[in-house]
Chains A and B, each alone.
Chain A
């Protein structure tokens, strides 16, 4: 794990130093609970909260919480489509509503699984700011650490990279999210994950924003 994290931190430092940029870090806990309505439909509720930390002053502040709800349709064992809604509760009061549409696919290989997620979303701000439109693609892989398939009571690594393009009020932006986490499959319904999520925001701006989050996730299937 240390071998993977060290180059990542070096890259971040070089990136921050090389240009006019900002750096944010913090903790990003998330909980997702899913339950099947029937053979084809599933509902997923997810809560994700951002807590920013300032290492230079050793301070901490709550940033925002996202409440998400998805209705998931299974086309076949590999492809699923989902419609979702998110309410973002922001500390400074600029709350937002988001509508989400996504298609996700999983590819099963001997020794790992690949996940593809194509998503578009539209964000509506309570402040009256222009609607933000985003299109995004995430590639992720789940690698069991104790055999060729993941079984209850086993650890796994999950790696993902997501590219996001957004447009708001005539202005384009591009973002990349790279994440690595160590996971534990508890029973046959719980997955716990802990890892790092490195986000490069405002890539089309002169002032790139670097964000490093300690991500803690709990995925529960009822």
Chain B
């Protein structure tokens, strides 16, 4: 009975959180990026080779994003329109997640979906600009908040979709949304 109640609660939360993500992203030149963002990036990622800049609007909120490779990992660094850093996302493999995070994520997936498949994982760091800089150049991560953004395919009685879930440092779900794929008519017909 308790298990059924938990499952029902989870499914209700899946339905309740089934927002749709809309995102617009455009490649831009570094001269169109706020100087404050460029300065922060150069301080944190000293002597980084190649940085690609993008202008983004996610569900109406504008930001700038830098994509770069650092220590053989892909990093995405997001700044607000004033050039203040908002978060750093680092691509990871499933095997690199801590055991307790993997356990909690699997527990959620098993409870909420009958079928699922994890497709992409990004570790997300948020915090004060100085603390985020220390996390990059001095590997000090005590003062920052770590979360995991996971893209997955999930199917249950009500949904059969591609999702983006945000999980906390323990692997507990905070929120999730449906990723709508663009029309595929020109690829199918």
- Asked if A82 and B27 make an inter-chain contact with CB atoms under 8 angstroms apart, the answer reads no
Nearest CB of chain B from residue A177's CB, rounded to whole Å: 14
Check if A175 is an interface residue, CB within 8 A of chain B: no
Check if B59 is an interface residue, CB within 8 A of chain A: no
- Asked if A158 and B186 make an inter-chain contact with CB atoms under 8 angstroms apart, the answer reads yes
Task: Choose from A77, A142, A151 the contact partner of B187 (Cβ within 8 Å).
Answer: A142
Asked whether A152 and B24 contact (CB < 8 A) given A46-B189, A77-B160, A77-B161, the answer is: yes
- A113 to B181: give the CA distance in the assembly, Å: 10
- Asked if A189 and B183 make an inter-chain contact with CB atoms under 8 angstroms apart, the answer reads yes
Nearest CB of chain A from residue B149's CB, rounded to whole Å: 14
- A31 to B25: give the CA distance in the assembly, Å: 28
Interface residues in B32-71 by Cβ distance below 8 A to A read: 54, 67
- A29 to B129: give the CA distance in the assembly, Å: 54
| A-side contacts of B183, CB under 8 Å | 34, 189, 191, 219, 221
Asked whether A44 and B25 contact (CB < 8 A) given A77-B181, A148-B54, A150-B182, the answer is: no
- Nearest residue (CB) in A for B119 is A108
Asked whether A106 and B184 contact (CB < 8 A) given A32-B189, A70-B189, A147-B54, the answer is: yes
Check if B169 is an interface residue, CB within 8 A of chain A: no
Interface residues contributed by chain B, number (CB under 8 Å): 21
Nearest CB of chain A from residue B49's CB, rounded to whole Å: 18
| A-side contacts of B54, CB under 8 Å | 147-148
Q: Total A-B residue pairs with C-beta atoms closer than 8 Å?
A: 80
Binary contact readout B146-189 vs A (1 if CB under 8 angstroms, 0 otherwise): 00000001010000111000000000000000000111111111
Check if B26 is an interface residue, CB within 8 A of chain A: yes
Check if A166 is an interface residue, CB within 8 A of chain B: no
| B-side contacts of A217, CB under 8 Å | 186
| B-side contacts of A108, CB under 8 Å | 162, 181
Task: Choose from B160, B161, B162, B185 the contact partner of A32 (Cβ within 8 Å).
Answer: B185
Check if B130 is an interface residue, CB within 8 A of chain A: no
Interface residues contributed by chain A, number (CB under 8 Å): 39
Interface residues in B114-165 by Cβ distance below 8 A to A read: 153, 155, 160-162
- Asked if A146 and B27 make an inter-chain contact with CB atoms under 8 angstroms apart, the answer reads yes
- A220 to B59: give the CA distance in the assembly, Å: 24
9 residue pairs, one from A and one from B, having the closest CB atoms: A115-B187, A104-B188, A151-B24, A77-B162, A219-B185, A221-B183, A147-B27, A147-B25, A219-B186
Could you list which residues of chain B lie within 8 angstroms of chain A, going by C-beta atoms? Answer: 23-27, 54, 67, 153, 155, 160-162, 181-189
Could you list which residues of chain A lie within 8 angstroms of chain B, going by C-beta atoms? Answer: 32, 34, 44, 46, 68, 70, 72, 74, 76-78, 80, 82, 102, 104, 106, 108, 113, 115, 117, 140, 142, 146-152, 154, 158, 183, 185, 189, 191, 193, 217, 219, 221
17 residue pairs A–B, Cβ–Cβ below 8 Å: A34-B183, A44-B189, A68-B189, A70-B189, A76-B153, A76-B155, A77-B181, A78-B162, A104-B187, A108-B162, A108-B181, A113-B187, A115-B187, A146-B26, A147-B26, A148-B25, A191-B183
